[in-house]
């Protein structure tokens, strides 16, 4: 793996704000996945706090599965509102995120971290209130405990998490259900679909509370 540090084209702030409005609804990641017709969904990663819901552009970090190195220097490239995605390829023998990284991320205005691997200091991260999704926990520290290497690392390159490609600048919507990925190209169409799904679910709930049966709902909406 060679060292790569690319710049990231972030989405229009107004578009991000529009997606953040969706966080007021139940299960925003599900709404987005429904709007994308089941595409772009990532499961299997847990939030430190189940109430966390976030939206932000992906700042991606790709690490070598055979040679994990410290990725803390990536914070110098982060902007407020970014979601740092660390692709450890499911490796869970070493914690690649912890309390100090969370504290620094909060100070930098980072919206959240997503780690396809192990983390530690979960109690500290919980007290900090930093939104973090992770695959597992392990006490073993990152390699900086024994050396100060930070290369090679690839920043702002496409990464794969649970079979789903995340490209730099993709809009991520995450909650306790999982993570939904929205590519920048076509994001406005996805937002339109999300709003349509929100309206439909409100009507369905009203019909249910008014006594509608499953059969009646299926006739009216086709599927639920």
Q: Who wins on pLDDT, 224 or 25?
A: 25
Confidence of residue 144 (pLDDT cuts 50, 70, 90): low
Give domain status of residue 80, yes or no: yes
**210 belongs to a structural domain:** no
What pLDDT digit, counting tens, does each position of 164-188 carry?
999 999 999 999 999 999 999 999 9
Please list, in sequence order, all residues whose beta carbon lies within 8 angstroms of the beta carbon of residue 188, skipping any fewer than 6 positions away: 15
Q: Environment class of residue 167 by beta-carbon count within 10 Å: exposed (0-12), middle (13-18) or buried (19+)?
A: middle
Residue-wise pLDDT tens digits, 49-101: 999 999 999 999 999 887 788 888 899 999 999 999 999 999 899 999 999 99
Does residue 164 belong to any structural domain of this protein?
A: yes
The whole-number pLDDT of residue 3 equals 86
The number of domains in the chain is 1
Distances (CA, A) of 89 to 42, 63, 68, 113, 203: 13, 8, 10, 15, 41
**What's the whole-number average pLDDT of the chain?**
92
pLDDT at 136 over 90: yes
In a domain, 149, yes or no: yes
Q: Given a cut of 80, is residue 149 above it in pLDDT? A: no
Q: Is residue 212 part of a domain?
A: no
DSSP 3-state of 69: coil
Q: Could you tell me the residue range of the domain that residue 17 belongs to?
A: 4-183
Q: What is the mean pLDDT of residues 15-22?
A: 98
Check whether the bond before 85 is cis (ω within 30° of 0): no
CB-based contacts of 118: which residues, under 8 Å, 6+ apart? 88, 91, 92, 93, 94, 95, 96, 134, 135, 136, 137, 138, 140
pTM: 0.93
- Assigned domain for 132 exists: yes
Which pLDDT tens digit goes with each residue over 185-201?
Answer: 999 999 999 999 999 88
Q: Looking at residue 127, what is its pLDDT?
A: 98
CATH assignment at residue 74: 3.50.30.40
In this structure, is residue 29 part of a structural domain? yes
In a domain, 190, yes or no: no
């Amino acid at each position: 793996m060679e060292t790569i540090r690319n710049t990231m084209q972030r989405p229009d702030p107004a578009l991000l704000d529009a997606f953040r409005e969706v966080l007021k609804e139940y299960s925003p990641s599900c709404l987005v996945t429904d709007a994308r017709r089941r595409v772009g969904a990532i499961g299997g990663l847990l939030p430190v706090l189940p109430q966390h819901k976030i939206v932000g552009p992906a700042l991606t970090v790709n690490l070598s599965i055979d040679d994990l190195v410290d990725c803390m220097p990536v914070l110098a490239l982060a902007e407020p509102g970014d979601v740092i995605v660390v692709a450890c390829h499911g490796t869970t023998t070493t914690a690649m995120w912890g309390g100090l990284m969370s504290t620094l991320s909060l100070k930098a205005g980072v919206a959240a971290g997503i780690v396809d691997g192990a983390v530690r200091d979960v109690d500290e991260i919980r007290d900090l209130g930093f939104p973090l999704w992770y695959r597992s926990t392990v006490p073993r520290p990152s390699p900086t405990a024994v050396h100060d290497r930070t290369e090679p690392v690839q920043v702002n390159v496409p990464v794969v998490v649970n079979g789903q490609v995340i490209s730099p600048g993709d809009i991520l919507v995450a909650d306790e259900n999982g993570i939904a990925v929205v590519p920048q190209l076509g994001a406005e169409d996805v937002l339109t679909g999300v709003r349509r799904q929100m309206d439909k679910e409100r009507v369905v709930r009203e019909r249910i509370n008014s006594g509608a049966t499953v059969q009646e709902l299926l006739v009216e909406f086709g599927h639920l």
